[in-house]
Amino acid sequence: MPGNTDLLTLQTPCLLLDEARLRANVARMKAHLDSLGVAFRPHLKTAKSLDVARIAMPSSAGPATISTLREAEYFAAGGVCDMIYAVGIAPAKLGRVSAIRASGADLAVILDSVEQADAVAAHAARSGDAIPALIEVDADGHRSGVAPTDTATLVAIGRRVVSGGAELRGVLLHAGDSYALNDPAAIAQAAEAERVAAVTAAEALRNAGLPCPVVSVGATPTARYARDLTGVTEVRAGVFMFGDLYQAGVSSVAMGDLVLSVLATVIGHQKAKGWIIADAGWMALSRDRSTAKQAVDQGYGVVCDLAGQPYPDLIVADANQEHGIIALRKGSTATLPDLPVGSRIRILTNHACATGAQYDRYHVLDGAGGISAIWPRINGW
């Protein structure tokens, strides 16, 4: 247990952030992308914090990727002036996009339909704001995007964007299906497929005489395991900064690199059942149960001591809103640790994006088990 008493006195549950691990994760990703000769545009949807953004971004002004216009407003107010809003644009959001751009931030949008291109073009013509737009291209059937070989649609969208005086800035892909892979070689293959799709789409636009300066790809797994990114100009990734049990389960991060943990307090026991009850339920840990489909189901989280070391086989086996039911993994031969009422524990969780969203601040761990800072974060839209 650390000598510092901060972790014994904080009100629980609260969210701890290991700054040294965060910096190491960012440095590793930056070095990898530097070695591939591509720019890095970190995704801030996981952290939603200016303090974290300034560690992750190449400069305090960006570039960055964001997932909500609330993030765009918050980061723009904090001096980030190069952002892509990486969710297909709804026409009714274009006024808000222009307001953020008028505040000085170069905020770009993405789209994958002629309908959206018409809306962006009409807005640009009406407002005089040449909103930059990237065409979303479908890397792997995961979600949105134009098929990379659908040249007719790509070109039609590109022509509509520029027709109204908006700016066609390039193509953007997200190899979301790579999250389901757990073998570095398979992920590298997914990264190569993402690259090929990106380059194919970019060439289709250029062959039609349209500009395509930006070729943007990324997802945490493909960013980490890509071996060659020829033709790509930038990579986006976000959850890698923090990692989580799901990412660890697919080998995308190591357990020892996980940045976030929830500090909780033991509030009871059901000894006959082998249960320890803590004051961190699904509200504190999130409802995310994504490890349920993995080889090792981590329940609602892995229970650690205050130094961050997991207790053998001890997980949050079930959770109510403000109660975590801690028990040994089924079939375990380990011994339930002696954790009297009032004991403090740290819980690693399944999904950093979902857990983070339950909090309005990070308690930043220094190297000695104390709290060195509180970093605010935002939520909502």
Smallest separation (angstroms) from its own copies to the CB of 332:
21
Smallest separation (angstroms) from its own copies to the CB of 247:
14
**Separation CA 332–CA 313 (nearest Å):** 7
Neighbours of 362 (CB within 10 A): 28
Residue 231 burial by CB count (10 A; 0-12/13-18/19+): exposed, middle or buried?
middle
Smallest separation (angstroms) from its own copies to the CB of 220:
13
Nearer to its own copies among residue 7 and residue 38 (C-beta): 7
Smallest separation (angstroms) from its own copies to the CB of 12:
7
Nearer to its own copies among residue 55 and residue 277 (C-beta): 277
**Separation CA 253–CA 267 (nearest Å):** 32
Smallest separation (angstroms) from its own copies to the CB of 91:
5
Helices within the chain (DSSP H only): 6-9, 19-36, 50-56, 69-77, 94-102, 114-127, 151-163, 184-207, 220-225, 245-249, 282-285, 352-356
Smallest separation (angstroms) from its own copies to the CB of 339:
12
Nearer to its own copies among residue 121 and residue 229 (C-beta): 121
Residues near its own copies, by CB under 8 A:
8-9, 11-14, 45, 67-69, 87-93, 96, 112-113, 115-116, 119, 138, 141, 143-144, 176, 265-270, 273, 277, 279, 282-284, 286-289, 320-323, 325, 340-342, 351, 353-354, 357-360, 379-381
Q: Which residues of 60-86 are buried (b: 16+ CB within 10 A; e: fewer)?
A: eebbbbbbbbebbbbbbeeebbbbbbb
Nearer to its own copies among residue 15 and residue 365 (C-beta): 15
Q: Would you give the DSSP letter of residue 343?
A: -
Give the three-state DSSP class for 24: helix
Nearer to its own copies among residue 14 and residue 302 (C-beta): 14
Nearer to its own copies among residue 38 and residue 352 (C-beta): 352
Six token digits for residue 169: 């800035």
Give the three-state DSSP class for 207: helix
**Separation CA 162–CA 132 (nearest Å):** 9
Pick the closest to residue 202 from 178, 222, 230 (CA basis): 230
Smallest separation (angstroms) from its own copies to the CB of 185:
25
Nearer to its own copies among residue 3 and residue 141 (C-beta): 141
